[in-house]
Amino acid sequence: MSDDKKKDDDKKSSGVGQKLFDARQILICEAIDQKMASRVVGQLLALATESDDDITLFLNSQGGHVEAGDSIHDVIRFIKPRVRIIGTGWVASAGTHIFLAVPKQDRVCLPNTRFLIHQPSGGVGGKVTDIAIQAEQIEIMRKRLAVIISEQTGQKLEQVMKDIERDHWMDTDEAIKYGILSKVIKSSSEL
């Protein structure tokens, strides 16, 4: 890609970002990592500093780094403005963790959204003692995330622990029944 083309793309992206920011809208449409979490947390904090008006977050993510998702989840709960989350595409893994940061009535999605809950995984390696420590930490994380899913969906903790043993995919009807989602919307007028 030429330098001029990259500059044009960056300018367009910056213009779209500013329009979204001005509309108090945030877009997550990528894997969850530390760089993305820094951007989203910064946007949330900046919008919260600007006013107490509602913030709308559009979420389409395959998941990613749990602690990066934790940062976004916790900041959503920390700030004063109400955050509404609209799922689109897929809301998976750490993406579901972010989705569950808001009260159920503020969790909606577009018609073709899929949801995934599962246990965390990690790239375990190193000495035997280090592997044991990492496995213990993954188990602690699994229980912590299961408690959050249970509290936010109304499912019994034992059921959530069973459901996250393997990938547990849900369509919109199943996500509503499970308690992840309040409703499916087709247009902005339904907000």
Whether residue 107 is contained in a domain is answered as yes
- Rounded Cα distance, 149 and 116, in Å: 12
Annotated active-site residue 65? The verdict is no
In a domain, 89, yes or no: yes
3-state secondary structure of 85: strand
Residue 177 lies in a domain: yes
Domain that holds residue 57: 3-120+167-184
Q: State yes or no: is 118 an active-site residue.
A: yes
Residue 137 resides in a domain = no
- Active-site pick, 93, 121, 168, 189: 93
Catalytic residue among 65, 73, 97, 118: 118
Number of domains in the chain: 1
Residue 130 lies in a domain: no
Going from the first residue of the chain to its last (191 residues), give the mean pLDDT of each consecutive group of 10, the final group possibly shorter.
62 76 95 97 98 98 95 98 98 97 98 94 70 83 95 98 96 98 96 86
**Pairing status of strand 114-117 against strand 168-170:** antiparallel
Which CATH number goes with the domain that contains 176? 3.90.226.10
Predicted confidence at residue 41, as pLDDT, reads 98
